[in-house]
Amino acid sequence: MTLPPRLTEGTEDLIPRARAGDRDAENALFERLHARILARAKKKVWDEQAAEDIAQETLRTVFEKLREAALPNGLFPWVFTILHNKIGNYLKRRRAELERGGAMDPEITWETVGLSRDGEIAAIDLTESLEKALRRVTPECRKVFSLLLAEVGREEIRAAFGGEPQGTVDSRISRCREKLLRHLEELWKETGR
Amino acid sequence: MRDDRSTHATMSRLLARYEFGALSDDERRAFEAHALECDLCFAELERGSVATAALRERARQFRQTLAADEARGARVAPGLAARLAGLARAIAAPRVLAPAAAVALLLVIVTLRLTGAPRYAHLATFPTDDVAADIVRGPGASDAVRELLVAGAGYFDIQQYDEAARRFRAARERDPQLAEAAYLLGLAEVFQGEERDALPDLEDAARLASDDLRPKAEWVLANAYLKAGRTRDARGVLERLSRGEGEYAAKARDLLARLPS
């Protein structure tokens, strides 16, 4: 795959350099992640100071472990896992505080952080929702997910699509992902999460 | 601006494979560098992170669901021989699938062979260039429709067919009688592997097309029929097309010679 030259400007190798201990790269990476993580946290907790605390805690954890973390799936899934855990912990604390004080902030939302109404990570609910969402997508999409989950390589995936151009294969995968997420989001709305 | 859009389009196509750890090292490095600067990709990654993390964690459980689905004989898209070869390689790799899943997939292969896939789908070919040349530039299309077609053609050129189809579909909704919109939407759907969805659009395109576009529209329609397993319908269109003159008539005669009588 030929990548456009603009991709290599500015951020190329920022993550590998930061992981190797380059302080300049760490600072640059921190700046780039901070604004986005803060924005995501604000949308989830509706409190500027709490969002800033969550962003700082998330990044502290990320950078404490950045050098030794294996990151087999890349940086972002790991960062989001940490972020969601921090948000989840905050919401649980906040809810407990509000309930103890006899008030519940109506603006705290649970649905997008994988939390049930009682504030616990709803692993079972999530699994069930995923099962249902998988059943709603087409058999071809399920095949796509089976290949991705089997961790076969890019060429194997292409071969499974009859050797079609990589762009076509990627478009199909993207469509399947979008369908799955939409079904999942519908299910979460239906169950009031 | 064009560079930014093109870059985002190229990178966003990689997002789903990134989430599942299916990018090469070079692709992953390039995608992560882009996502550090791209609000859209960052937001989309966050949106999918809970679901894909859970999917991956529970892959073994879901494989059972998937194997059951496959064991019922669900047919995957055309290109069966190559796909089966790919599956066979996956099965052969001990790190990939547990023995039970491998057995299940072998059963699937047998099932697929028995149920059959479109036999002549591999003969289907589609034009991949000159998409912009099919855009109406004259008085037949309004500015808004033409704008949608131009935007869609831009995405088509960089192989982002879902984005292209969205714009072609919007153009078609605004002007249902415009053959070019129907043709381009059908072609984009074919390239997304949605040939069954494409057939009504391509049928409309062949019906509505002017003499300039009709041979090409009929050629694409015939190939979409082939890919969808409707060989008889494909033959009908090809026979009609072959009676004419020009590039597509010659192609039709050549393809007819390779189909069963």
Query: Model-level pTM?
Result: 0.52
Contact between B54 and A130 using a beta-carbon 8 Å cutoff: yes
**What values do phi and psi take at B73, rounded to 5?**
90, 20
Q: What pLDDT is stored for residue B117 in this prediction?
A: 44
Q: Which residues pair with A121 in a beta bridge?
A: A115
Q: What pLDDT is stored for residue A45 in this prediction?
A: 80
Q: What is the value of ipTM here, to two decimals? A: 0.81
Contact between A16 and B29 using a beta-carbon 8 Å cutoff: yes
Burial zone of A45 (CB within 10 Å; 0-12 exposed, 13-18 middle, 19+ buried):
buried
Query: How much of chain B exceeds pLDDT 90, in percent?
Result: 20
Contact between A11 and B33 using a beta-carbon 8 Å cutoff: yes
Q: Residue B229: is its pLDDT beyond 90? A: no
Average pLDDT (B103-125) is: 53
Query: How much of chain A exceeds pLDDT 90, in percent?
Result: 21
Angle at A169 between CA A165 and CA A173, to 5 degrees: 165
Tell me the C-alpha distance between B166 and B106, whole Å.
Answer: 37
Q: What pLDDT is stored for residue A140 in this prediction?
A: 84
The tokens describing A37, both together, are 């993580």
CA distances to A71, A175, A180, B126 from A63, in Å = 13, 34, 32, 50
Among the listed residues A139, A160, A155, the one whose alpha carbon sits nearest the alpha carbon of residue B81: A160
Q: Nearest C-alpha of chain A: how many angstroms from B17?
A: 8
Please give the interface size between A and B, counted as residue pairs whose CB atoms are below 8 Å apart.
237
Q: Residue A144: is its pLDDT beyond 80? A: yes
Range B230-238, long-range pairs (CB < 8 A, 24+ positions): B231/B118, B231/B119, B231/B120, B231/B259, B231/B260, B234/B120, B234/B259, B235/B259, B237/B206
pLDDT band at B39 (very low <50, low <70, confident <90, very high): confident
pLDDT tens-digit series, residues A13-49: 889 899 998 999 999 999 999 999 998 888 888 788 9
Which residue is associated with the tokens 């790269």? Answer: A25
Q: Residue A115: is its pLDDT beyond 70? A: no
Average pLDDT, chain A: 77
Which residue is associated with the tokens 């350099």? Answer: A17
Q: Residue A64: is its pLDDT beyond 60? A: yes
With H, G, I as helix, E, B as strand and everything else as coil, classify residue A121: strand
Contacts of A147 in chain B (CB under 8 A): 90
Which residue is associated with the tokens 């007819």? Answer: B256
Which residues, 6 or more positions from B138, have their beta carbon under 8 angstroms from its beta carbon?
none
Average pLDDT (B27-47) is: 89
Q: Which of A2, A31, A36, A134 would you mutate first to test chain B, the one with the most B CBs within 10 A?
A: A36
Q: Greater confidence, A69 or B71?
A: A69
The tokens describing B124, both together, are 């289907």
Q: Which of B4, B38, B42, B109 would you mutate first to test chain A, the one with the most A CBs within 10 A?
A: B42
Q: Nearest C-alpha of chain B: how many angstroms from A174?
A: 6
Which residue is associated with the tokens 């095949």? Answer: A143
Contact between A12 and B30 using a beta-carbon 8 Å cutoff: yes
pLDDT tens-digit series, residues B138-159: 556 777 788 788 778 777 766 6
pLDDT band at B83 (very low <50, low <70, confident <90, very high): very low
The tokens describing A27, both together, are 């600072």
Helices and strands of chain B, counted as H and E runs: 14, 0
Pick from A74-83, A150-159, B150-159, B224-233: least confident: B150-159
Q: What pLDDT is stored for residue A89 in this prediction?
A: 81
CB B97 within 8 A of CB B105: yes
Q: Which residues of B112-126 are buried (b: 16+ CB within 10 A; e: fewer)?
A: beeeebbebbbebee
Contacts of A72 in chain B (CB under 8 A): 21
Q: Residue B100: is its pLDDT beyond 50? A: no
Average pLDDT (A126-144) is: 81
Q: What pLDDT is stored for residue B126 in this prediction?
A: 76
Q: Greater confidence, B69 or A43?
A: A43
Put simply, whether A82 touches B (Cβ < 8 Å) is no
Contacts of B43 in chain A (CB under 8 A): 40
Using H for helix, E for strand and C for coil, what is the string for A63-101? Answer: HHHCCCCCCCCCHHHHHHHHHHHHHHHHHHHHHHHHHHC
Tell me the C-alpha distance between B254 and B238, whole Å.
Answer: 10
Q: DSSP labels for B154-201?
A: HHHHTT-HHHHHHHHHHHHHH-TT-HHHHHHHHHHHHHTT-HHHHHHH
Contact between A160 and B87 using a beta-carbon 8 Å cutoff: yes
Tell me the C-alpha distance between A96 and B119, whole Å.
Answer: 63
Average pLDDT, chain B: 74
Q: Residue A84: is its pLDDT beyond 60? A: yes
Q: What pLDDT is stored for residue B79 in this prediction?
A: 37
With H, G, I as helix, E, B as strand and everything else as coil, classify residue B96: coil
Q: What pLDDT is stored for residue A123 in this prediction?
A: 47
Contacts of B15 in chain A (CB under 8 A): 174, 177
**What values do phi and psi take at A115, rounded to 5?**
-110, 140
Q: Nearest C-alpha of chain B: how many angstroms from A11?
A: 5
Q: Which of B7, B12, B29 would you mutate first to test chain A, the one with the most A CBs within 10 A?
A: B29
Contacts of B61 in chain A (CB under 8 A): 127
Query: How much of chain B exceeds pLDDT 70, in percent?
Result: 66
pLDDT tens-digit series, residues B191-220: 887 888 899 999 999 999 988 889 999 999
Q: In terms of CA atoms, which chain A residue is nearest residue B83?
A: A160
